[in-house]
Structure 1
Amino acid sequence: MPSPLKVLTRSVVLGVAALAVAGCSSFGFPTLTAQRKSDKECLMRAMYFESNRSSADGMLAVGTVVMNRVDDPRYPNTVCGVVGQPNQFASGVMSRKMTDSGVLLADQMSGRVLRGERHPGVRGAQHFHTAGLRFPYNNMHYVLEAGGNEFYVKR
């Protein structure tokens, strides 16, 4: 008969696995989709789907926002955890196919970001939205427009 500690440990492990398979990121666990991808692929996906695919500047800015979030304790501490958070990035960012020549640029730019390069105009911004949209909030301090997006710091 297994010890009570072994049974409890097995139950906890199985429970965590079930939450991950169910995609329960609200409990702080990344979804199974995010767990299967490397940080580079997750970053590539965010850059590819969130920026003008022909803009290295826009991709670098999106990558900088992802890394700013990784460095902030209010967000998951991995690239895939940040990119895989529900309702934060483009719908299907972790699962849609990347099909055009923008993949090559996203691959190149994600490598540069993972090696430490950051967009100087983004600074500490952790948010962005499509350029040209305006919201009635006075806590959005805009710092940059790049790759079809406007980047801002919440104050």
Structure 2
Amino acid sequence: MKKYISIAFAITLALCVFATEGKALTEEIHGSSVQLDQEQVPLKDPLYMKDGRIFVPLRLLSEALDIEVNWHKNTQQVEVKTAFNDQIWFNVGSKLVAMNGTEYLMDTQPFMEDGRVYLPLKHISEILHTRLMWEGTTKTAHLTTVAPYIVEKGDSLESISKEFSLSVGELKRVNDTDDGFLAVGQELRVLAPEYLSTPLSAEDVNLLAKIIFIEAGYEAYEGQIAVGNVIMNRVAHSSFPDTIRDVIYHPGQFPPAHNGTFEQTVPSDTAVNAAREVLGGKEYARGALYFFNPNVTRHSFFTSKEVIATFGNHRFVR
């Protein structure tokens, strides 16, 4: 089958490992190689390793597999169309990934460095329906194509899901079907990208958007993101509850959550977008656990803490 790639994107798109916000390039894997279905794939760029993840040039996969890639500069998005007719959108600087119109959360985020976009091999290989195995002794990334399953008489979603260790829900999502109807001879994809198990929660978006709107709806967008950062930092911190809902309703923290205001709040579109970006990993107040308006309070509890950032009327501290 024909292989596609946007020429302009091919020039700039490469996957290596850079950490975000100016951190150094990770270590190159010297002597590394890639095999696709036991065939050696020519490497024009090196592989890199970061936090146990392998990063490779996307153009390597675009040349080896059927994939169409387009770079949308205005929206900072990467559009990938696969031979299985899947359409995947990656967002630079965000963990959000949309597959066939439904949003999910990856465990890492694409970003740009020197005009190039970087993505992890694990997620790319999964959406291309290949299985990845890393052989550490030879420093080789083995990619094995997973053929679609051909439905036979008597098959059901339940029986196929058991055979391939997928849940019925994952099988439906990866094949973009809700009715569960199977026809003899139908091709089913049986390798589900890991991020399909983490769909973006509409409830979390709504809760986060409400508190952002209440606390910083009048502030600049960066300030709204920062408020959302505080909520998520608390979710991740051992001193606070571990869900967005429980953080917001934690006693003594956010009065609107206890006086009826919160339930009646309808967040603005801007607050909703800020919530989505926060859940996708956007950070302007990394590590901040509190925020306050110094024009309203000068309590030593806040003023004695380290200031992480200031946006509008709010100082963000830890």
TM range (shorter): 0.5 to 0.7
Name whichever structure is richer in strand by fraction. Answer: 2
What letter corresponds to residue 124 of structure 1 in structure 2?
G
Quick one: distance in 1 between partners of 2:265 and 2:211?
12
Corresponding residue of 1:85:
250
Corresponding residue of 2:291:
128
Quick one: distance in 1 between partners of 2:304 and 2:252?
20
What SS class does the counterpart of residue 145 from structure 1 fall into?
strand
Change (3 A) 1:128 1:54: closer
The 5 A counterparts of 1:40-119 are: 40-92=205-257, 94-98=262-266, 103-119=268-284
TM-score by length of 2: 0.33
Preserved CA contact (<8 Å) 1:143 1:152: yes
Corresponding residue of 1:139:
304
Preserved CA contact (<8 Å) 1:66 1:83: yes
Report which structure shows greater RCO (CA 8 Å, sep ≥6).
Answer: 1
**Which structure has the bigger radius of gyration?**
2
Preserved CA contact (<8 Å) 2:217 2:271: no
Preserved CA contact (<8 Å) 1:52 1:147: no
Quick one: distance in 1 between partners of 2:269 and 2:246?
23
1:111 deviates by 0.5
TM-score by length of 1: 0.64
What letter corresponds to residue 292 of structure 2 in structure 1?
H
What SS class does the counterpart of residue 247 from structure 2 fall into?
helix
Quick one: distance in 2 between partners of 1:50 and 1:105?
13
Corresponding residue of 2:204:
39
What SS class does the counterpart of residue 262 from structure 2 fall into?
coil
Preserved CA contact (<8 Å) 1:131 1:150: yes
What SS class does the counterpart of residue 150 from structure 1 fall into?
strand
1:125 deviates by 1.2
Preserved CA contact (<8 Å) 2:308 2:317: yes
Quick one: distance in 1 between partners of 2:219 and 2:300?
30
1:52 deviates by 4.0
Residue by residue, what CA displacement relative to the aligned partner does 1:30-77 show, whole Å, maximum 9, x if unpaired? xxxxxxx81111100111011143521111000110110000122111
Quick one: distance in 2 between partners of 1:127 and 1:118?
14
1:131 deviates by 3.5
What SS class does the counterpart of residue 123 from structure 1 fall into?
coil
Q: CA RMSD in A?
A: 2.1
Gaps of 5+ in 2: 1-201
What SS class does the counterpart of residue 263 from structure 2 fall into?
coil
What letter corresponds to residue 108 of structure 1 in structure 2?
N
Gaps of 5+ in 1: 1-36
Name whichever structure is richer in helix by fraction. Answer: 1
Alignment identity in percent?
26
